Structures are given as structure tokens and as C-alpha cells.
Amino acid sequence: MEISALTRSVVKSNHALICPDGHVNSVIPGWTNCKTNVLINEQMGAGLCQALITMEAEGVVSGKTAVSQLFFYVIEGICTVNDTLLSAGQFVYFPPGENYEIKGASAGTKLLSFHKVYEPLEGYPTPKLFFGDSAKIPGPAFLGDPALRLQVLLPEDLSFDMAVNIFTYDPGGHLPFVETHVMEHGLLYLQGQGVYMLNHEWYPVKKGDAIWMAPYCQQWFTAMGKEPAVYIYYKNVNRFPSPI
């Protein structure tokens, strides 16, 4: 018998692991006939919001961005975003002040969203709405290790203050060193499993798990099992992190 009092999920001051067994839905105005799990947000001390949306028949996710930019990635299924058909692996970026409408989804379609308040940069235009396809984005070896491949989904352009990347690790592949950095991460496992070290604590992780890493949360990962481990993650970038 499953013990319902046990979970792998933890919420700590500088990191969190949120596993599917703990998901509780939120009602979001304008997001109807869908299940929305807000996995990470400012309430836990984060500088981003990350949500998982599961569409039901007749599901609609619509609204207008205000101060935040909004990124949607199709994990599985199909849907129409502002009249453009998207399927698994495809994504869309909405800058602040943009109307969005997602509908026509097959029941069970899963979307991941990242939301971040946009920080303008003098001399650089606010990015424009655009669509992309992770299948068309190259995944070069990370820091010279062919067991690790990194795909960068958003343009590497100073207009953007956030990055969204997909990291693929062959079984046994691991980060080359313990990262200690000011940038924050929100992350979702798309495939496989492994062990994450967060602030010197060790967590078995797998497909469906979400992780929040606050600035300076120390981090290291190794993939386990018979298939590559794949996660998609957010990172704040391109802005000076202290007042000037």
C-alpha cells in the first residue's frame, strides 16, 4: 500500500523539489477548462513563476501580459496559440503588453509556462512575440563534454532578460562542477531520471518533477537509468544583479 504521508517534495529557503504527487490546482481567471499547477512563484521567494497546465476538452488559456513576459512550451499534445498550431517541443514567447489565447487543444495537452517581470535595458528594444521549435535548435556539447547537450531556445540578445534552455544528459553524464551562481533557475524534468544535489542535499529526481533553485543555491546533477535525462529550465540573464 502507498503511504500517503510520504513524498519526495521539499520546500526549503533556497530550493524546492515539487513532485506530481503534491500538485493542487489553482483557478486562474481567463484560464478555463484546464488544470493549472503553480509550481514555483514569488510566494516561495522566487523571482519567477512556473506553472504546469493540463488542458481538458474546450480548454482556453487567455489573457494579456502586463509587466511580465510569458513563455509557453508544449510538453505533449497539440494546441493553437494566437491561431498558430503548436505541437510537442514547440514554444511561444509573449513580451509584456501582448494578448495571448491558447485553445483547440487535444484533451490532456500539457504546457509549461515561465513568467518573469521584464526589466527594460536602455538602448535595447523590448523583444517581440515569436514562435520556435526545439527540434530545430542545435544542441552542442556542454563545456566540451559530448554526454551533455544544451539547447538555447531564446535569442542570446541583451534585449532578453531571461533564458530558457533544454539540457540533455546521457546516462552517467553529469555537470562538470558544482555550480554556485547568482542566477536563479526554475526547472521541469521532461524525460529520464537522476540525482540532483541542491545546497549539499541529495535528491533522486525524474520526469514530471519541478525544481526551484534560488540565487546561490549550489547545484550539481548526474543522470541515471537507461535513457537520457532531459530538463527544460529558466535562468535570469543579461541584467546587472545589483542597484547601479
CB 162, CB 117: distance < 8 Å? no
Q: Is 179 in the site for ligand UGY (CB under 6 A)?
A: yes
Among ligand UGY, Mn ion, none, the one that 23 touches (CB under a kind-dependent 5 to 8 A) is none
Among ligand UGY, Mn ion, none, the one that 69 touches (CB under a kind-dependent 5 to 8 A) is none
Q: DSSP labels for 137-198?
A: S--PEETTEEEEEEEE-S---TT-SEEEEEEEE-TT-B-SS-B--S--EEEEEEE-EEEEEE
Q: Is 185 in the site for ligand UGY (CB under 6 A)?
A: yes
Q: Whose CA is closest to 111, among 25, 37, 211, 26?
A: 37
Which residue, judged by CB position, is nearest to Mn ion in the bound state?
179
Q: Which of residues 167-186 bind Mn ion (CB under 5 A)?
A: 179
- Residue 16 C-alpha cell reads as 524546492
Query: Which of 70, 232, 235, 236 is in the footprint of ligand UGY by CB under 6 A?
Result: 235
Q: Is 160 in the site for ligand UGY (CB under 6 A)?
A: no
Q: Is 151 in the site for ligand UGY (CB under 6 A)?
A: no
Q: How far is CA 170 from the centre of its chain?
A: 20
What is the contact surface with Mn ion in residues (CB under 5 A)?
179
What is the contact surface with ligand UGY in residues (CB under 6 A)?
167, 179, 185, 219, 235
